[in-house]
Amino acid sequence: MRRVYLDHSATTPLDPRVREAMLPALGEEFGNPSSLHETGRRARRAVDRAREQTAALLGCDPGEIVFTGSGTEANNLALLGVFGAGARYSGHVIASAIEHPSVLEACRHLERFGVAVTYLRPDHEGVIHPDALAAALRADTRLVSIMTANNVVGSIQPVMQLGQIARDGGALFHTDAVQAVGKTPFRLADQPIDLLSLGAHKFHGPKGAGALFVRQGIELQPIVFGGGQERGLRSATENVAGVVGLGRAAELAAEEGPADCARLAQWRDRIIDHVLKAIPGAYLLGPRFQRLPGHVCLGFAGLEADTIRLLLALDQEGLDVSTGSACSASHADRPSYILQAMGLDAVRARGSLRITLGRFNTESEVDCLLETLPRVIATLRPAAGFPAADRASSNKPSETEYR
């Protein structure tokens, strides 16, 4: 059976051109970039080249790129690095309630050591309102962390406005852009973003490689101690092959990303339009257009409690999709904290189906999804029918319920 991979927000297949770029570092170019001899210098040149490629994608200076082992590590370095390694911290952090666990758990760690944290709730489409951030700022706010795009519902945040509000209030602004890099444009030299996290495997690079943009002049404290690599912010011998792969993936995203995203957005809209018309009781989670290209998050009235059955039925048909973020797959039977923060009740918060497209998907694979999904849904519907489609909007909260 041919498998159709539609879970690119979890991870993406390695681009063959990225693999080819990595091979020398896995073989004859095995040197340690900190070594002074020619073998080490070749490895250093490869790392420096990758730094330039990554900076070119983000529109920043290469010296502002710090390589990490993952997007999670980059998020931790951003949040914890602002406060240092003291026994007691002070100050205030603002984050959204729909951040990735690597941000939320870092915030909870800071809370345990004395930092006050405000968690902003989104509106019913998963978007943080700038007015909510402005109202939450305090004189002692040191950091604001709002993701660029949500991993579950695909909503894109107004980071330019949010970053400017943070800057005007005297706070640093960090954005977890792991889901967005390679899919949305960045020109960090001109944007009010002080810290930005990315992970290579979300845009057809290797797992185990990430980066943190640190704007020039911002001082962070390390969270990993040792030999002082990466400007002292990430001690450890560099993962040269991973870094090279990240750089090449960034280069390809800069060259091909706009065309990829246009194609994926077209297919995304086709999927949404077809499903909402062809499947009674289907509803979209997240905004209709202010969302990542290639990202679709759906619910099906009456099947919210059976989403795992739906996923397994699609798996048997050869379709790889998810019920939410890969990080929450071990407790997929629980309500999604992201959907609950958006105002969905506990039943509907269990019921999302996430379909995410990538560079190597084809139109025939989209056709396969659109033929298979309605048929599988029909087999799972109870014989007695299902709740009316207006259930999809009956619990939609008013925006006035949020800060």
Catalytic residues, by residue number, are 327
Task: Please give the residue that has the higher pLDDT: either 211 or 350.
Answer: 211
Tell which CATH architecture fits domain 16-253.
Answer: 3-Layer(aba) Sandwich (3.40)
**What's the average model confidence in pLDDT over 332-336?**
76
| CATH 3.90.1150.10 domain locations along the chain | 4-9+257-401
Q: Taking CA 200 as the corner, what is the angle to CA 230 and CA 174, rounded to the nearest 5 degrees?
A: 65
Name the 3-class secondary structure at 293: coil
pLDDT class for 219, splitting at 50, 70, 90?
Answer: very high
- Domain at 4-9+257-401, CATH homologous superfamily: Aspartate Aminotransferase, domain 1 (3.90.1150.10)
Residue 208 confidence (pLDDT):
97
**What's the average model confidence in pLDDT over 184-210?**
97
| Dihedral (CA of 152, 153, 156, 157) sign | negative
How many whole angstroms separate alpha carbon 375 and alpha carbon 333? Answer: 24
Specify the amino acid at residue 64.
E
In sequence order, which residues have a C-beta less than 8 Å from that of residue 167 and are 6 or more positions away? Answer: 173, 192, 194
Task: Please give the residue that has the higher pLDDT: either 18 or 396.
Answer: 18
| pLDDT tens by residue, 143-178 | 999 999 999 999 999 999 999 999 999 999 999 999
pLDDT class for 347, splitting at 50, 70, 90?
Answer: confident
pLDDT class for 2, splitting at 50, 70, 90?
Answer: confident
| CATH 3.40.640.10 domain locations along the chain | 16-253
Q: How many CB atoms lie within 10 A of CB 186?
A: 22
What is the pTM assigned to this prediction?
Answer: 0.92
